[in-house]
Amino acid sequence: MDSKFEKWAKIKEKGKADYIIKYGVLGWGVTTAILFSIVFSTIVSRMNKETSFLLTLLGLSLLVFPLGGIAWGYFMWNYMGKAYQKSKAD
């Protein structure tokens, strides 16, 4: 079995909710929210626009992107589960 799937077997033992929170919400959602806020505020500041909305933008991003992280985590959980089952069958 591939080392990727050996790692998946250990992750799977912790459960779907743990995976979605750890890899989806925190890993993808929060990270993307912070990066998006930094990049977007940098672009806006270079256009000589008001930059005081950075905290508002960050706050909104920290609400929206983690919700997307839930969807991403759920999708990846199912995708990796199917790939794992297929590798076990081969």
- Domain range annotation of the chain: 15-84
Neighbours of 63 (CB within 10 A): 11
Q: pTM of the full predicted structure?
A: 0.79
How far apart CA 3 and CA 70 sit, in angstroms, is: 26
Consecutive sets of 10 residues in the chain, 90 residues long: mean pLDDT of each? 79 94 95 90 71 74 94 95 85
**CB within 8 A of 19, min separation 6: which ones?**
11, 12, 73, 76, 77
How far apart CA 76 and CA 87 sit, in angstroms, is: 16
Per-residue pLDDT, 48: 63
Per-residue pLDDT, 14: 95
**CB within 8 A of 46, min separation 6: which ones?**
none
Per-residue pLDDT, 9: 86
